[in-house]
Each structure stands twice: as structure tokens, then as C-alpha cells.
């Protein structure tokens, strides 16, 4: 009698493998296009920058400055911590001490993934060293180089971590929260163009990098859960 062996896994590289590859390739193509043009603005960069400068009523500027301030600092890490708490909620069925430990570990992993993503972005930014738009167009503080946008990347990474947690745990109203956190990340990126401190391609690059990083994290997380005892 033939013994039935273990079936090979049909998961392959995970559902995020193809989109992750597409986002990574798109980011690389954009970076190479910039380098080929000696870091000068790409088509669309100067048009959007000019439109932003020409349409700046005071009350809109104030609102956009408030929005952009949420894209860095503590708020993205608070969101990452919330995502970790959601992912750790499955530990509630465990003994109290073990549940607390696993929830704290999930929070630390989410925050750490965001920090690693920021470090990756900083390394790429330093290596490419793209100048920012003319300082005369700025209406907020900015420092260092331009590509990819730090605010756009950080907020999109934080949003991505939250979206993965919401999609995994599916709490009540998770679709609404996914839409809200997505709109928040998009508004952060758009604010950087409007305030004159980034080219549009800096922001697009930040979103692509964040998407690739989020999907990589989701794939690693799925494989970890699949391979863990009792999964």
C-alpha cells in the first residue's frame, strides 16, 4: 500500500509576491529614470509644483500643514503599535502572562518593521541624494535630500501595517478603517507636493517603496504563522 506523504505547499511565495515584485521594479525604474536625467525633475514634476505654488489660499495652507505634521514622528508609531495590538489580540485565549507577552511582542515587531523601513528609506535617500525643489517654493520645514519622500514613505508604511492587521483580524468596521488610513497616507504624500518640499516623483517613489515593504512584511508574517506550532 502506498503511503501518502505530505503535500507540497501550494502557497508559493505568498499572495503578495507578485504585487511586491511589481512595486519593487516600478520603484527601481523610477530611480533609474531619475539617475539617467541627473536627478532633474521628471515630466509632471514641474507642472504639479507650479500648480501647487499658484493655488495656496491661507486656510488651505494651514489645514495642509496640520495634515503633513501627522506623517512623521510619534503618530506613525502609534498606528504601528495599534496594528501590533490587533495582531496580538489572538493571544487572548492564552494564559494571561503569555497573552501579554505575545501582544507586546506583536507591538514591538510592527514598530520595528516600521523603523527598519525608515532606515531603508534613509539609506536610499542618502545614496541617490536628489535635491529638493527650489527653497523659495517651500512653506514648511524640510531637511536633507528629496527622494523618496520621508513623510510619504513613513505614513504609507504605517498605513500598510495597519491595513495588514485589519485585513488579518477583520474587526467590526475594518473596511471603513482601511479606507480612512489609506486616505490619511495619500493626503500626507499630496501635502508634501503642495507645501513645495517634494517633487511628485519623490512621493510616488515613497508610496511604491512602502507598498513593497508592506507586502514583504505581510509575506514574512504569513509564513511565520504557517510555520509556528499550533497554526
Could you report the per-residue pLDDT of 22-81, keeping only the tens digit for each? 999 999 999 999 999 999 998 899 999 999 999 999 999 999 999 999 999 999 999 999
In tens, the pLDDT along 173-203 reads 999 999 999 999 999 999 999 999 999 999 9
* pLDDT band of 89, cuts 50, 70, 90: confident
DSSP 99-136: HHHHHHHHHHHHHHHHHHHHHHHHHHHHHH-PPPSPGG
Choose among 186, 202, 191: nearest CA to 60: 191
Query: Taking 80 as the threshold, does the pLDDT of residue 15 lie above it?
Result: no
Check residue 94 and give its pLDDT. 64
* pLDDT band of 169, cuts 50, 70, 90: confident
Q: How far is CA 90 from the centre of its chain?
A: 24
In tens, the pLDDT along 125-150 reads 999 999 999 999 999 989 899 999 99
Query: Taking 60 as the threshold, does the pLDDT of residue 104 lie above it?
Result: yes
Check residue 223 and give its pLDDT. 75
Q: How far is CA 130 from CA 12, 45, 63, 118, 215, in A?
A: 37, 13, 28, 17, 26
Dihedral over alpha carbons 22, 26, 28, 32 (to 10 degrees) = 150
Amino acid at each position: 500500500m502506498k503511503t501518502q506523504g505530505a503535500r507540497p505547499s501550494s502557497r508559493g511565495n505568498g499572495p503578495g509576491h507578485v504585487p511586491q515584485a511589481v512595486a519593487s521594479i516600478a520603484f527601481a525604474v523610477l530611480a533609474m529614470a531619475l539617475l539617467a536625467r541627473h536627478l532633474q525633475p521628471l515630466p509632471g514634476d514641474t507642472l504639479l509644483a507650479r500648480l501647487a505654488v499658484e493655488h495656496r489660499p491661507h486656510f488651505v495652507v494651514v489645514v495642509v500643514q496640520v495634515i503633513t505634521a501627522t506623517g512623521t514622528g510619534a503618530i506613525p508609531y502609534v498606528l504601528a503599535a495599534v496594528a501590533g495590538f490587533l495582531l496580538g489580540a489572538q493571544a487572548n485565549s492564552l494564559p494571561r502572562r503569555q497573552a501579554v507577552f505575545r501582544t507586546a511582542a506583536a507591538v514591538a515587531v510592527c514598530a520595528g518593521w516600521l523603523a527598519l523601513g525608515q532606515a531603508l528609506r534613509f539609506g536610499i535617500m542618502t545614496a541617490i541624494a536628489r535635491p529638493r525643489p527650489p527653497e523659495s517654493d517651500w512653506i514648511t520645514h524640510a531637511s536633507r535630500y528629496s527622494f523618496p519622500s520621508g513623510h510619504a514613505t513613513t505614513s504609507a508604511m504605517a498605513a500598510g501595517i495597519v491595513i495588514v492587521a485589519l485585513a488579518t483580524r477583520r474587526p467590526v468596521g475594518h473596511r471603513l478603517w482601511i479606507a480612512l488610513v489609506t486616505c490619511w497616507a495619500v493626503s500626507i504624500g499630496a501635502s508634501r507636493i503642495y507645501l513645495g518640499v517634494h517633487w511628485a516623483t519623490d512621493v510616488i517613489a515613497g508610496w511604491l517603496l512602502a507598498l513593497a515593504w508592506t507586502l514583504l512584511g505581510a509575506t514574512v508574517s504569513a509564513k511565520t504563522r504557517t510555520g509556528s506550532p499550533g497554526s
